[in-house]
Amino acid sequence: MAAEQVQQLTQLETIRLGCVPEHFCSPVFQAVQKGVFGQYGLKVEVVNCPGGTGEMVNMLNNDQLDVAIALTEGLVASLSNEDGLFRIIGTYVSSPLTWSIATSPSGRLGQSPREGLGPDAWEPLKNAKIGISRLGSGSHIIPFVLADRMGWLNNGTEPFTFTPLSNITGLVNGVKTGAVDAFLWERIMTKPYYDSGELHHLSNITPPWPAFLFAATQKALAHKKALSTMLEVITQMSVSFMDGREGASILYVAERFQLPEDDVRTWFSAVAYPQDSREVSAKVLQECISVLKKAGVISDKEAEIPFDRLVDTGVAALVDIP
């Protein structure tokens, strides 16, 4: 990269990049640790957001982040329901997220087989008290996707009651104390609680879209070259990370996140990062909108959501356009 190009990239002095401090974000952590962003004239500050997508959407709208790596359904729902101060600029993880459903071993839902298959295993969740990190987070939205698959949204009554409990620590405590009946969280990060016997693994649910997208504030989007270069760096680091999935990357994830190596191998067998992080599938966005409307997560079911309300094509490359 030419020196004058590097100089242009530094106009955005620091990119505040929000993410949940979990294994999916390993390529970003490694890029910071190895100084790779700096090699391209970028200064990236990673902001840990344990409250998840709901927390990051609030931070984007309040100018506390420049970019976020957040759940697809959370970003799409937020931008569909209210025109936010941010836009989607890329895809971070192209494989879907497996959500596990955690309950108390001693509660009414703890007597069923471990990791039972839906919909039979989901039936006892009707009218349950569900713990969530925040309103608008994936842990809040995915239960509606489950309820839609079960046909519980057809009569117009709410299938669950929700209690915000901030993060995984609050959710685990909520189930253990009986404040909530269950919560949904990423499977591998929840598995240690199942293995220890603290929680019961009721079942899983996987929505039909990529797990994580990038979103940037309108203010940050004034610096499109910086954002495009950041995505280019993350693409390179993600490819390198996946190249090490038989050795070095397994050790990195296991050590950093205190996970058993066998569980990390299982995760690597299912996860996929894109070859170009700038690409965003229009077909995927439409499918997500359709499911979220049906589930009642997008309040106006008749509204047409234009792509420019969701995506900034000055950075993102919109593909699979109908």
Reported confidence tier of residue 11, pLDDT bands at 50, 70, 90: low
Q: What's the confidence (pLDDT) of residue 3?
A: 39
CB neighbour list of residue 106: distance below 8 Å, 6 or more residues apart: none
Q: What is the DSSP letter of 121?
A: G
Reported confidence tier of residue 261, pLDDT bands at 50, 70, 90: very high
Q: Is the pLDDT of residue 1 over 50?
A: no
Q: Is the pLDDT of residue 164 over 60?
A: yes
Q: 99-205 maps to which CATH number?
A: 3.40.190.10
Q: What's the confidence (pLDDT) of residue 9?
A: 44
Q: Is the pLDDT of residue 13 over 80?
A: no
Report the C-alpha gap between 31 and 55 in whole angstroms: 24
Task: For residue 316, give the 3-state DSSP assignment.
Answer: coil
Q: Is the pLDDT of residue 82 over 50?
A: yes
Q: What is the mean pLDDT of residues 108-132?
A: 91
Residue 205 identity (one-letter amino acid): I
Same fold: 3-96+209-319 with 99-205: yes
Which stretch of 100-104, 115-119, 228-232, 243-247 has the lowest confidence by average pLDDT? 115-119
For domain 3-96+209-319, the CATH architecture is: 3-Layer(aba) Sandwich (3.40)
- Please calculate the CA angle 35-86-308 and round it to the nearest 5 degrees: 120
Q: What's the confidence (pLDDT) of residue 302?
A: 80
Which stretch of 4-13, 56-65, 190-199 has the lowest confidence by average pLDDT? 4-13
Please return the burial class of 306, using the count of CB atoms within 10 Å of its CB with bins 0-12, 13-18 and 19+. Answer: exposed
The CA R_g of the chain, rounded to the nearest whole Å, is 20
User: 3-state DSSP: the chain helix, strand, coil percent, rounded to 5?
Assistant: 45, 20, 40
Which residue would you say has higher pLDDT here, 52 or 12?
52
* pLDDT (tens digit per residue) in 175-205: 999 999 999 999 999 999 999 999 999 999 9
Which stretch of 35-44, 82-91, 97-106, 152-161 has the lowest confidence by average pLDDT? 152-161
Q: Is the pLDDT of residue 8 over 70?
A: no
Q: What's the confidence (pLDDT) of residue 29?
A: 98
Q: What is the DSSP letter of 197?
A: T
Contact 322, 282 (CB under 8 A): yes
Q: What's the confidence (pLDDT) of residue 12?
A: 63
Task: For residue 117, give the 3-state DSSP assignment.
Answer: coil
Which stretch of 5-14, 75-84, 230-239, 248-257 has the lowest confidence by average pLDDT? 5-14
* pLDDT (tens digit per residue) in 295-313: 788 888 788 899 999 999 9
Reported confidence tier of residue 216, pLDDT bands at 50, 70, 90: very high
Report the C-alpha gap between 176 and 198 in whole angstroms: 8
Domains of the chain, by residue range, sit at 3-96+209-319, 99-205
Cis peptide before 96 (omega within 30 of 0): no
Report the C-alpha gap between 199 and 178 in whole angstroms: 12
Residue with tokens 């995506």: 311
- DSSP state string for 263-288: HHHHHHTT----S-TTEEEHHHHHHH
Reported confidence tier of residue 206, pLDDT bands at 50, 70, 90: very high
- Please calculate the CA angle 172-174-178 and round it to the nearest 5 degrees: 120
- DSSP state string for 226-277: HHHHHHHHHHHHHHHHHHTTTTHHHHHHHHHHT--HHHHHHHHTT----S-T
Contact 219, 9 (CB under 8 A): no
Q: Is the pLDDT of residue 129 over 80?
A: yes
* pLDDT (tens digit per residue) in 277-295: 999 999 999 999 988 888 7
Length of the chain: 322
- φ, ψ dihedrals at 75, nearest 5°: -65, -45
Q: Which pTM does this prediction carry?
A: 0.88
Q: What is the DSSP letter of 312?
A: -
